[in-house]
Amino acid sequence: MERVNRLVAETLEAAALAVEELARRTGLSSSALRRYRLGNRTPSPDVLRRLATELRRQAKRLERLAHNLETEAERGREHA
């Protein structure tokens, strides 16, 4: 279980979302998220799925942003 807690903590840190915002988006309490992050509590499989769903959404948003930035850069080079 310690490995699960460490992975959850690292993933939550990498997400760079405020605990309160992630709690709102997942329907979890901010105190539960803090306990997962600190390793004081192990999330259930359902909680892990909820976190994974939201974090995938965040990753997709970042991928779209990267694509848009690349497209803009290419357009800028074409017009330069």
DSSP assignment of the chain, as one string? -HHHHHHHHHHHHHHT--HHHHHHHHT--HHHHHHHHHTSSPPPHHHHHHHHHHHHHHHHHHHHHHHHHHHHHHHHHHH-
**CA 64 – CA 60 distance, rounded (Å):** 6
The reported pTM is 0.67
What string of pLDDT tens digits covers the 80 residues of the chain? 677 777 777 777 776 678 888 899 899 999 998 898 888 888 999 999 998 898 888 778 778 878 888 888 888 888 76
Q: Which pLDDT does position 16 carry in this prediction? A: 67
Q: What pLDDT sits at residue 32?
A: 93
pLDDT for 10 equals 76
Q: For 2-79, CATH number?
A: 1.10.260
| 50's tokens | 């909820």
Q: Return the domain boundaries, the chain.
A: 2-79
